[in-house]
Amino acid sequence: MFLYPITFYLFSFIAVLSALMVISSKNPVNSVLFLILSFINSAGLFVLLGAEFLAMILVVVYVGAVAVLFLFVVMMLDINFIKLREGFLQYLPFGTLLGIVLIIELSILFLTKSFSNSNLINYSSSPTINDIENTKLIGEILYTDYFYLFQICGLILLVAMIGSITLTLRDRGQIKRQKISSQNYVDAKKAIEKKKVKIGEGV
């Protein structure tokens, strides 16, 4: 059973290290790439805990959509990051205070002896995996007990998507659009004009 602890500590170490690189990297593109790496390792931790549905959602939604969107936005926008970092020093004392408070709280949490109380739940070293997959269990609950609520949520998201497209779709007269139907019915004899050009002369 040494494989589970080794895998857990490996994923945890890479996730924490990549999270630190997200906030310490000077290049924003590298920060987004480290964020994607952190998401992937967090998904691996969810798989080890037997929550493969959460791992799939983390990879598909956050890595496949949110993080990639951040990456394209950072790459396409011409942001002056030097100007954004000009006011960093004025927030440094407040950020240092918050960091110290967080370290003290984590120290109290991990060093307290109340976690060794016998009244608490004694978790085993490895999670117990059911015969039925986690994704199947969630699907059965969503499509039986919460079927109508699930469909209403999907309908609301569909209406919101159509509304956002309708609000942003504006007809700009200066933009030339391609009309495929008009191009298909163009007569080649009328569209092409043949001219005989002599050698050494232009059109």
63 lies in some domain: yes
Please indicate whether residue 6 or residue 156 has the higher confidence score (pLDDT): 156
CATH number for the domain that contains residue 58: 1.20.120.1200
156 lies in some domain: yes
Nearest Cα residue to 68 out of 29, 42, 14, 38: 29
Domains held by the chain: number: 2
Task: Give me the mean pLDDT over the 182-195 stretch.
Answer: 77
Q: Are residues 70 and 141 in the same domain?
A: no
93 lies in some domain: no
Q: Are residues 77 and 140 in the same domain?
A: no
pLDDT tier at 155 (50, 70, 90 boundaries)?
very high
75 lies in some domain: yes
9 lies in some domain: yes
The mean pLDDT of the chain is 78
pLDDT digits (tens, 9 = 90+) for 73-99: 776 766 666 666 666 677 778 888 988
Nearest Cα residue to 63 out of 38, 27, 31, 28: 38
Q: Are residues 67 and 141 in the same domain?
A: no
Decide which of 61, 81, 101 is a domain's last residue. Answer: 81
Q: Which range marks the domain in which residue 57 is found?
A: 1-81
Task: Tell me if 28 sits within 8 A of 70, measured CB to CB.
Answer: no
* pLDDT at position 159: 93
**Which alpha helices (DSSP H) does 49-129 contain, by range?**
52-57, 68-76, 81-84, 92-111
* pLDDT at position 123: 52
Question: Residue 200 — left, alpha, or beta (φ > 0 → left; ψ -120 to 50 → alpha)?
Answer: left
pTM beyond 0.85: the answer is: no
